[in-house]
Amino acid sequence: MAEWGFRLDLNVHELSDHQLDALYEAGCDDATFATGASGAYAVFDRADATPEAAVLSAIRDIEGAGAQVWVTRVATEDDWLTVPEIAQRTGRSRQSVHQLINGERGPGDFPAPASRRDRRSPLWSWEQVRTWFAQHEPGTLPADPPRPSVDFLAVVNDRLDLRDRLRRSPGEPWWSDVDMTLPLVS
């Protein structure tokens, strides 16, 4: 079985020691839990037959832990990279990547940092960097690891969003009209 990496955003801002213990005992020992600006999240490296099976089993483990924690969003984790991470992925030295960024090598027009632009370690979007390399130096790109399909991520995130809306407004009179007009099954 292969390992699949992904991120699950959670409904809480911080996790207590009790919640972390419950999550670990429920099978989430392959996750790193952290807190960011938008709240708590889990980064998984989960072994399973497919990336979709890995994501769904992680959601079941988190929500079955009895810790009053549920998943609000699924994302692939490795989109934002530092210069050393770009160098590692592309088989270049850090200096070579810095030269590409500064326009001292290559065709120029390297993507701008996506975040933390004015800090010591800015972050680049791997998707933008990969697109630039595909256009200018296609032979240097490693094969992308298999990921959950875009459609799978969209469906899961749509369902998570719908579930959250049902929790916030369960008795609204318009739900039956929405169900009749836009059924989930055609």
By three-state DSSP, how is residue 143 classified?
coil
pTM: 0.68
Q: Give the number of other Cβ atoms within 10 Å of residue 36's Cβ.
A: 10
The alpha helices in the chain, defined as continuous H runs, are 17-25, 51-63, 83-90, 94-101, 126-136, 150-168, 175-181
Reading the chain (186 residues) residue by residue, the pLDDT tens digits are 888 888 899 999 999 999 999 999 999 999 999 887 788 999 888 999 999 999 999 999 999 999 999 999 998 766 678 888 888 888 889 999 999 999 998 888 999 887 777 777 788 888 788 889 889 888 878 776 677 888 899 999 999 999 999 999 988 999 889 989 989 876
Which H or E run contains 94?
helix 94-101
User: For the chain, what are the domain ranges?
Assistant: 2-76+147-181, 80-140
Bridge-partner residues for 43, per DSSP?
A: 7, 32
- Three-state secondary structure call for residue 66: coil
Region class of 103: left (phi > 0), else alpha (psi between -120 and 50), else beta: left
